[in-house]
Amino acid sequence: MHFDISHKDKDSSARAGKLHTDHGVIETPIFMPVGTAGTVKGVHQRELKQDIEAEIILGNTYHLFLRPGMDVIEKAGGLHQFINWDRPILTDSGGYQVYSLSGARKITEEGVKFQSHIDGSYHHFTPEKAIDIQRSIGADIIMAFDECTPFPCDYAYAKNSMAMTHRWLKRCMNQMDKTSCTYGYSQALFPIVQGSTYKDLRQESAKVISSIDAVGNAIGGLSVGEPEEDLYEMTALVTEILPVEKPRYLMGVGTPWNLLECIALGVDMFDCVMPSRNARHGLLFTSQGTINIKNQKWSKDFSAIDAESPCYVDQNYSKAYLRHLLKSGEFLGMQIATIHNLSFYLRLMKEARSRIIDGTFMSWKNKMVKQMNQRL
C-alpha cells in the first residue's frame, strides 16, 4: 500500500492524492461511509457504488466481533466476501466503542474488559486481540487499539491515557509482525494520535506517531464534544508534525464545513456517522445549507430534493414526498435521505479535490463553508 500526492494547494495545506490498496485506488480527499455492522444503514452495496460513489467504507471491530462473530466472517472468506464489497474497507480497532461503554468497561494496562451491549456477556480486548480480529475481518486499513479520552478530561488523565495508547501501539505493531492477513492481500496499520485538547500532549503524541513510519496516520480523540475551534486547533497542531508524504485520517469528523476546514489543514481522510444518522432524523445537507425536511414549510414543496445533485433519489423524489415518508415512519424515507446525504458528502470531496488541482480551493472553500453552515 502506498500514497501519492499529485497536487498541493498554494494557499493552504490541502492536497490531492491517491492511496493505492489491493482492493483499488482511493482518490483523496475522501469521505468514508460508516458501515458499522457490515452495512451502511439502509443502503445496498449497489447504491454505495452507483449512487453514492463510495470508494472505501468502514467496518467496526467491536460490533462485528460480537455479531456475527469471527467464525462466520472467516468462513465467508472475510468481510469483503461476506458483504459482497470489492472496494477497500477500513476497520477501527473497537477502542471508540469501548470508550462509549463507559459504564460497562474496565481499562487496565493489559487491555479493556467490557460487557456486551447485546447479551451482557463479558469480553476482554487487548492490543493483540484487536489486531487478530482485524486480521480475521480482512480490512485493507486497520487501526491500532487506543483509548479515546472523554471531553472534558483533566491533564493527568489525558497524559496517562496517551502514554498507554503509545505502549499499546508497540504491542499492536509486534502482533502485526507476528501475523499475516488471513486472505492473502496486504493490510496497513494506522497508528492514532491522542492527547485530548492539550497542545503539548497532542504535539508529543504526533511526534511519537510520526517516528513509527507507518503507511498512514490517524488523529483520534476529537469530535467528542469539544468546540469547533478546539477541533481545528488540535488538527492544525498535529498535521504540522505528521509526515507530509503520508495520508492523514481524522476520525469521526464531521459536518460538511468541518471537512472542508480540515482539508485546508492537510487532512486526507474522514469518516462520521453524522450524514447517515442525521438523515434518519430528516436533516439533509446541501450546498446551500441544512434542511429539516420534517418542517411544515416543505409539506407542499414538490421540487426535487436537491436540484444540483445528479443522484437518482435527488432527481426523482420531491421534498414533499420525502417529508411525508419520514413523518409516516416509512423506511424508504430514511433510505432516500441517507443516500442523499452520503452522495452529497462524496460529491463535496470530489469537488474539493478538483478545486485543489485547479488552484481555486481556498476561495471556493470559504464560500462553501459560509453557505453550508446555515439552516434553510
The number of domains in the chain is 1
- Cis bond upstream, residue 152 (ω within 30): yes
Q: CB–CB of 337/326 below 8 Å?
A: yes
Q: How far is CA 247 from the centre of its chain?
A: 14
271: burial class by Cβ within 10 Å (0-12, 13-18, 19+)? buried
Please say whether the beta carbons of 142 and 188 come within 8 A: yes
> Quick one: average pLDDT of 154-182?
97
| Residue-level pLDDT at 96 | 73
In which band, very low, low, confident or very high, does the pLDDT at 80 lie, cut at 50, 70 and 90? very high
Q: Is a pLDDT exceeding 80 seen at residue 102?
A: no
Residue 171 CA to its chain's centroid (Å) = 24
Q: Answer yes or no: is 196 within a domain.
A: yes
Answer whether residue 308 is part of any domain. Answer: no
Sheet strand arrangement including 89-92 = 57-60, 89-92, 141-143, 188-190
CA distance 27 to 166: 30
Q: Is residue 293 part of a domain?
A: no
Secondary structure E strands in 24-109: 24-28, 30-32, 57-60, 89-92, 105-107
Type of residue found at 114: F
Specify the CATH number for the domain of residue 108. Answer: 3.20.20.105
Packing angle of the helix pair 331-358, 319-327 (nearest 10 deg): 130
Q: Is 24 a domain residue?
A: yes
295 in a structural domain = no
Please compute the mean of the pLDDT values over residues 198-218 and round it to a whole number: 98
Q: Is residue 88 part of a domain?
A: yes
Which amino acid is present at 347?
R
Positive/negative CA dihedral, 294, 299, 302, 308: negative
pLDDT digits (tens, 9 = 90+) for 318-335: 999 999 999 999 999 999
Give me the torsion for CA of 303, 304, 306, 309, rounded to 10°. Answer: -140
What length does the chain have? 376
Residues in contact with 362: Cβ distance below 8 Å, sequence separation at least 6, in sequence order: 9, 11, 12, 14, 264
Host domain of residue 8: 2-279+339-372
Q: Is 45 a domain residue?
A: yes
**Summary mean pLDDT of the chain:** 96
**Which residues carry out catalysis?**
92, 271
The reported pTM is 0.97
High-pLDDT (> 90) share of the chain, %: 91
Q: What is the mean pLDDT of residues 142-165?
A: 94
pLDDT digits (tens, 9 = 90+) for 244-271: 999 999 999 999 999 999 999 999 999 9
* Other Cβ atoms within 10 Å of 124 Cβ, number: 12
Residue 16 pairs with which residues in a beta bridge? 7
φ, ψ of residue 288 to 5 degrees: the values are -100, -10
222 within domain boundaries = yes
**DSSP states of 314-339 as a string?**
HHHSBHHHHHHHHHTT-HHHHHHHHH
